[in-house]
Amino acid sequence: MKAILLKDFGGPEVMTYGDADQPQPVADQVLIKVHATSVNKPDVMQRMGQYPAPKGESEILGLEVAGVVEQIGANVTKWKKGDQVFALVAGGGYAEYCTAYQNHIMPIADTLSFNQAACICETYITAYLNVFLLGQLSSNQSVLLHGGGGGVNTAAIQLCKNLTPDVTTFVTCSTGKVDRVKALGVDHVIDYQQQSFADEIKALTGGKGVDVILDHIGGPYHQANMQSLALGGTLMQIGVSQGVKAEINLALMMVKRQRIIGSVLRSRPIVEKAQIIEQFEQTVLPLFANQTIQPLISNVFPLSEAVKAHQMMESSQHFGKIVLEV
């Protein structure tokens, strides 16, 4: 089969479009003929050698696919050949064929294209897991999302607006994305290039702070995040793109009864991912099926042009998701 291969770890140019062995589904897996996959920041990190595939998983990049069931493993009861599906995978998405566990797969509603379905798993499940299941955002609370133009955070904005419409949303982004983030209906957009988000949150909340923060920046944002967190608030750390170390004032954290939770989706056990997906399917999937929300697709490239897709993500020109058509 055709797939994106890595010559080495490094810049986008280490990716080549070549031939790889077609994967074989184990008993609980399905083989999917991939029609579309999408680019996620963790793919860029894996390409750079900073985010290895979990043990036993495909070394091929790609954390989600949409396509058609081609073959089923011996224990598969939920799916049959020809079903149109999308799936969360721990690797292997940048290819013509990909295997997925039967409980990590969801059906594609008639209202969704393969390209749209390929943009749901990694970003919306990450947003749902961290903001709602772990962060426990609830009605009348407030949330700060960093990076409103990205895949995870355009998803998080949509979920906050639709699952908890009375939540107050604060979103940071670069100057060039302010208008587009505003257009998504967030309550307060903070231009992180021109403003201090901690000062803005303090002023806008009357010093109270926000109940949940979804952060992927890490070190340089840590202290400002903690200052911006309300009493009893939760900082969800889902990435460390700008630094892994930070100083924590434990006394303040204790007195303010705050929580910091680190979370990664990819390396969770198969059963745990299936439980998260089951909740996601019940709570969020109907919103896609009835078109209340739609994945925001920024750009579409053929799989063979994965280099261009990664260059686009790394220069942060995208707004929403970048699709690779297979």
Nearer to ligand NAP, 20 or 238 (CB): 238
CA distances for 67 relative to 94, 106, 119, 231, angstroms? 12, 11, 12, 45
> Residue number with the shortest CB distance to ligand NAP?
150
**Contact residues for ligand NAP, defined by CB under 6 A:** 40-42, 122-123, 126, 146-147, 149-152, 172-174, 177, 192, 216-217, 238-239, 241, 263-265, 313, 316
Contact at 8 Å (CB) between 228 and 209? yes
Closest contact distance (angstroms) between CB of 263 and ligand NAP is 5
Residue 89 carries which DSSP code? -
Closest contact distance (angstroms) between CB of 230 and ligand NAP is 20
CA atoms within 13 A on the CB side of 183: 8
Nearest to 70 by CA among 54, 91, 87: 87
Closest contact distance (angstroms) between CB of 309 and ligand NAP is 12
Find where tokens 């790609």 sit.
62
Closest contact distance (angstroms) between CB of 75 and ligand NAP is 27
Residue 259 carries which DSSP code? E
Closest contact distance (angstroms) between CB of 293 and ligand NAP is 16
- What angle (nearest 5°) sits at the alpha carbon of residue 217, between those of residues 215 and 219? 110
Nearer to ligand NAP, 25 or 150 (CB): 150
Find where tokens 């220069």 sit.
315
Nearer to ligand NAP, 101 or 197 (CB): 197
Nearest to 103 by CA among 27, 25, 28: 28
* 3-class DSSP state of 150: coil
Closest contact distance (angstroms) between CB of 184 and ligand NAP is 12
Contact at 8 Å (CB) between 104 and 97? no
Q: Which residues contact 235 (CB under 8 A, 6 or more apart)?
A: 213, 215, 225, 226, 229, 258, 259, 260, 261
Nearer to ligand NAP, 18 or 176 (CB): 176
Nearer to ligand NAP, 76 or 306 (CB): 306
Closest contact distance (angstroms) between CB of 66 and ligand NAP is 17
Sequence-ordered alpha helix ranges (H) in 229-269: 250-255
